[in-house]
Amino acid sequence: MNYFQLFNLPAQFDLDLTELGSRYLQLQRRFHPDQHAAGSERDRLMAVQQTANINDAYHSLKQPLLRAEHLLALRGLKISHEQRSFTDPSFLMQQMELREQLAEIEQSDDADAVIDSIERQLQQQKKQLLQQLSAALQAQTAEQDQQAADLIRKLKFFFKLQQELELTEQQLQD
């Protein structure tokens, strides 16, 4: 299913999220099972199915990585369930170093400063990769699509790191 079509939005990475949100609400209202309570059994089932599709679509389009994956899937490049290892040594070395910094927070005298420093690095790297991803997806060539797939893989490591950082922050507060 083409989620962009469902929301009647252009199939592109840079989306107007406010527009996405208001179209989501419109569609949800139109297909809400209560609106179809008086309809036939078939109507009601269709409405339930359509509501599920709308929710899935909204969930995917609102998050940049899932949106990019969906866009690539529409172009015939499916990467969402791949199990292949990522092997870029210098990128992984950097990930390893960030993980080490994260692991050392608890022993640090100034945990807040370390958290801030990691947070800044993560934000900066994520921003840069997302800009590159946007440009790669705009090009619409097979080569740039592969490039985009690699950028998504890299971004996944950063989103995971972000989660780990938030977890560490919570543990320190407890």
Partner 1 sequence: MAYSNKVIDHYENPRNVGSFDKDDASVATGMVGAPACGDVMKLQIKVNADGIIEDAKFKTYGCGSAIASSSLVTEWVKGKSLAEAQQISNTDIAQELALPPVKIHCSILAEDAIKAAIADYKQKHGG
Q: Tell me which residues touch partner 1 (CB under 8 A).
A: 81-83, 85-87, 89, 91-93, 95-96, 99, 103, 152-154, 156-157, 159-161, 163-164
Could you give the CA distance from residue 61 to residue 17 in angstroms, rounded to a whole number? 9
Q: Would you say 158 and 126 are in contact if contact means Cβ atoms under 8 Å apart?
A: yes
Could you give the CA distance from residue 58 to residue 45 in angstroms, rounded to a whole number? 20
Q: Report in angstroms how near the CB of residue 3 gets to partner 1 at its nearest.
A: 21
Q: Which is nearer to partner 1, 42 or 81 (CB)?
A: 81
Residue carrying the six token digits 């499916």: 78
Q: Report in angstroms how near the CB of residue 38 gets to partner 1 at its nearest.
A: 43
Q: Which is nearer to partner 1, 54 or 152 (CB)?
A: 152
Q: Which is nearer to partner 1, 6 or 149 (CB)?
A: 149
Q: Which is nearer to partner 1, 42 or 84 (CB)?
A: 84
Could you give the CA distance from residue 58 to residue 22 in angstroms, rounded to a whole number? 11
Q: Report in angstroms how near the CB of residue 86 gets to partner 1 at its nearest.
A: 4
Q: Report in angstroms how near the CB of residue 145 gets to partner 1 at its nearest.
A: 16
Task: Give Cα separations from 122 to 17, 21, 68, 110, 113 (angstroms).
Answer: 23, 27, 20, 19, 14
Which residue, among 117, 130, 116, has the nearest Cα to 159 in the 3D structure? 130
Q: Report in angstroms how near the CB of residue 165 gets to partner 1 at its nearest.
A: 12
Task: Give Cα separations from 126 to 65, 82, 115, 155 (angstroms).
Answer: 11, 22, 16, 7
Q: Which is nearer to partner 1, 45 or 103 (CB)?
A: 103
